Chains A and B, each alone.
Chain A
Amino acid sequence: MRLFLLKRMISTVLTLIVASVVIFVVLEILPGDPASFMLGIHAEAETLAALRAQLGLNQPLSIRYLEWIGGLLTGDLGNSYTYDVPVAELIRDRIMVSFPLALLAITLSTLIAIPLGVVAASQHNKPLDFLIMGFSQLGIAIPNFWFAMLLTIVFAVTLRWLPAGGFVGWDAGIIPALTSLLLPTVALALPQSAILARVTRSSMLDVLKEDYIRTARAKGVGYWSALWHHALRNAMIPVITIMGLQFSFLLAGTIIIENVFYLPGIGRLIFQAISQRDLIVVRDLVLLLSAAVILINFVVDILYALVDPRLRGFNDG
């Protein structure tokens, strides 16, 4: 296990380094001069020179990369050009919206999907199975931002039960804050749960065919007990894989959903930073998002090893 952990840690760190180099190079080299990119084509020479000096563009590329990484490691992400505040501060405020939103969405989708998948598998080829799979097909086909708009039309515009958008902030109290995150959470969770329910079902169907389930039943274990205690744990491996992969889609979904509901989160920040050509913020945020995806995949791999000791054995050789 220790060797496996070490190997995975090294490859995760390497992937993080490659990701940072790619993001840096792509955003620094391709557009030509970042300063003129940020200021637009009508910028005056003096302003350009000043910004170039401020951004440290007169230094060689490798030094600038190392300075950026050094800054990241010490928590100094540079200053936002448009907001004129440290990027770290901007991110800290916004992450307080995006992180709880992503967490709530993942929790809700798991709570919906796993029971639905288990029930569908236990009712294989019966009406309830078809109903659940029908729901899943629909959930996959509906774009989450359109679902968000439908939720707004029903619950905010017509019934007026919930706010149509905006975030009151955590200072206003937990209940009002959670209320403003309710519709975005549901909108994000629907497509995720549709996919997850499908994976849970097919994984459960595979496991239920195994001999040890028959043995457990023969020993007198009840059907539902065999399902929950014996089958589900083994069926979780592909489910965890998909949850890990879904995390990157969830981040992408957050960018769109935050824009639908005007939530001041990371997704909206990155979007605003692009339209304001604030390259420093874009660079930091893209790295932050990719790092989150890479780290989650690392955690998923570790979870595998914990759920299924056989995988550990393989990697230890």
Chain B
Amino acid sequence: MLWLIHACGDSTMVKQLKEVLQDGLYNRKFIIGSSITLLFFAMALLSYTWTPHSVEEINIAVKLAKPSLEYWLGTDHFGRDIFSMLIFGARNSVIVAMVAIVIGMGVGVPLGLIAAAKKGWIDETIMRFNDFTFAFPALISAIMITAILGPGSVNSIIAIGIFNIPVFARITRGTALSLWKREFILAAKSAGKGSIQISLEHILPNASNILIVQATIQFALGILAEAGLSYLGLGTQPPAPSWGKMLNDAQTFIHFAPQLAIYPGLTIAITVLGLNLFGDGLRDVLDPKLRRSR
């Protein structure tokens, strides 16, 4: 009997994935968003194997060079290749935003599931804690963390991750509360399953669509927050290049080399736009009801 359930589970998943991809092909936001997102991840992966120049290679002789065949987007004030730095910066952004989401989901989702399953004072305590964490924007908590631990990418990951916790807790709780009222949960209850088992086996899989969409939104916000922290000098530390740090450097030269400010900012904006479109498109595709009502 068990193998049958597993086989069914797998085939529905494959079917669902196929449906998502098929629907996705008709959704403009999904196509544009997923293309930009794939490109962004490809850039991040590429940085492990190849960049046109080394990102730590300082060559003052070619500082602030214009774009050329040698340096596709020109060089910065140390003569470092801007294109290579952008590729490397993508890796940095992916890691920070991704780990911050793992922290946010790892803590937030269980908290939301427990709050919805147990209700009463446990729910109340978790939600008040949630409100409290929400009162600290990522930047303010990052400032406190860096005041104590010093600046660095690990600390910015912690700060953004902490900011993600209440977001995931809130959305998991909301979705779980509405699922607990459904008949199939009642059936599971009458079959003698405990609240933890129901949460893991029935609530979580049914909430996964909403959580995936939220994760893409938080991913985009994570990239913006990381860029902001690195811009302030609280995030990724030199010599490792990051998009925010590149903008910080560019500001010093804004009067005679404004092009330095254009590329990193444009890269951030396009990436975040792509992720947001991907999230929007994914939501439409995963929830056809929502799409029809719009």
Q: Which residues of A contact B (CB under 8 A)?
A: 15, 18-19, 22-23, 26-27, 30-31, 137-138, 140-143, 145-146, 149-150, 152-153, 157, 164, 245, 248-249, 251-252, 255-256, 259-260, 270-271, 274, 277, 279, 282, 286, 289-290, 293-294, 297
Contact A27 B247 (CB under 8 A): no
Tell me which residues across on chain A come within 8 A of B232, comparing CB atoms: 255-256, 259, 271
Supposing A18-B132, A270-B143 touch, asked if A145 and B231 sit within 8 A by C-beta, the answer is yes
Among B66-74, B94-102, B269-277, the one that faces the other chain is B269-277
Q: Once the chains are docked, how many angstroms separate the CA of A31 from the CA of B277?
A: 42
Contact B135 A19 (CB under 8 A): yes
Contact B273 A27 (CB under 8 A): no
Contact B144 A249 (CB under 8 A): no
Q: Once the chains are docked, how many angstroms separate the CA of A274 from the CA of B141?
A: 13
B247 to chain A minimum Cβ distance, whole angstroms, is: 6
6 further A-B pairs in the complex, CB-CB below 8 A; given A149-B251, A274-B146? A141-B269, A142-B265, A149-B247, A252-B139, A255-B143, A294-B135
User: Which chain B residue has the least Cβ–Cβ distance from A249?
Assistant: B137
Which of B144, B234, B258 is in CB contact (< 8 Å) with A26? B144
Interface presence of B228 (CB below 8 A): yes
Tell me which residues across on chain B come within 8 A of A18, comparing CB atoms: 132
- Interface contact tally, CB-CB below 8 A: 116
Contact B143 A256 (CB under 8 A): no
Tell me which residues across on chain B come within 8 A of A282, comparing CB atoms: 143-144, 147
Is chain B's binding surface mostly helix, strand, loop or mixed? helix
User: Which chain A residue has the least Cβ–Cβ distance from B140?
Assistant: A289
Which of A142, A153, A260, A274 is in CB contact (< 8 Å) with B269? A142
Most chain A CB within 10 A, of B128, B137, B234, B276, is at B137
Most chain A CB within 10 A, of B138, B140, B261, B270, is at B140
A13 to chain B minimum Cβ distance, whole angstroms, is: 13
Contact A290 B136 (CB under 8 A): yes
Tell me which residues across on chain B come within 8 A of A286, comparing CB atoms: 140, 143-144
Supposing A260-B251, A290-B135 touch, asked if A143 and B140 sit within 8 A by C-beta, the answer is no
Interface presence of B114 (CB below 8 A): no
B276 to chain A minimum Cβ distance, whole angstroms, is: 6
Supposing A30-B148, A282-B147 touch, asked if A146 and B140 sit within 8 A by C-beta, the answer is no
Q: Once the chains are docked, how many angstroms separate the CA of A293 from the CA of B131?
A: 11
Most chain A CB within 10 A, of B144, B231, B255, is at B144
Q: Once the chains are docked, how many angstroms separate the CA of A146 from the CA of B224?
A: 11
Interface presence of B215 (CB below 8 A): no
Contact B139 A141 (CB under 8 A): no
Tell me which residues across on chain A come within 8 A of B135, comparing CB atoms: 15, 19, 248, 290, 293-294, 297
Tell me which residues across on chain B come within 8 A of A142, comparing CB atoms: 265, 269, 272
Tell me which residues across on chain A come within 8 A of B228, comparing CB atoms: 143, 145, 252, 256
Interface residues of B in 114-149 (CB under 8 A from A): 128, 131-132, 134-140, 143-144, 146-148
Q: Once the chains are docked, how many angstroms separate the CA of A93 from the CA of B92?
A: 38
Tell me which residues across on chain A come within 8 A of B128, comparing CB atoms: 15
Is chain A's binding surface mostly helix, strand, loop or mixed? helix
User: Which chain B residue has the least Cβ–Cβ distance from A146?
Assistant: B265
Contact B254 A141 (CB under 8 A): no
Q: Once the chains are docked, how many angstroms separate the CA of A280 from the CA of B120?
A: 39
Which of B132, B234, B254, B272 is in CB contact (< 8 Å) with A15? B132
User: Which chain B residue has the least Cβ–Cβ distance from A30?
Assistant: B148
A187 to chain B minimum Cβ distance, whole angstroms, is: 12
Contact B258 A157 (CB under 8 A): yes
User: Which chain B residue has the least Cβ–Cβ distance from A15?
Assistant: B132
Q: Once the chains are docked, how many angstroms separate the CA of A130 from the CA of B228?
A: 29
Interface string of B49-89 (1 = CB under 8 A from A): 00000000000000000000000000000000000000000
Interface string of B233-273 (1 = CB under 8 A from A): 01000000000000100110011001001001100111011
B170 to chain A minimum Cβ distance, whole angstroms, is: 11
Tell me which residues across on chain B come within 8 A of A31, comparing CB atoms: 148
Which of A141, A146, A153, A274 is in CB contact (< 8 Å) with B143? A274
Interface presence of B169 (CB below 8 A): no
B169 to chain A minimum Cβ distance, whole angstroms, is: 15
Tell me which residues across on chain B come within 8 A of A19, comparing CB atoms: 132, 135
Tell me which residues across on chain B come within 8 A of A23, comparing CB atoms: 144
Tell me which residues across on chain A come within 8 A of B146, comparing CB atoms: 274
Tell me which residues across on chain B come within 8 A of A279, comparing CB atoms: 147
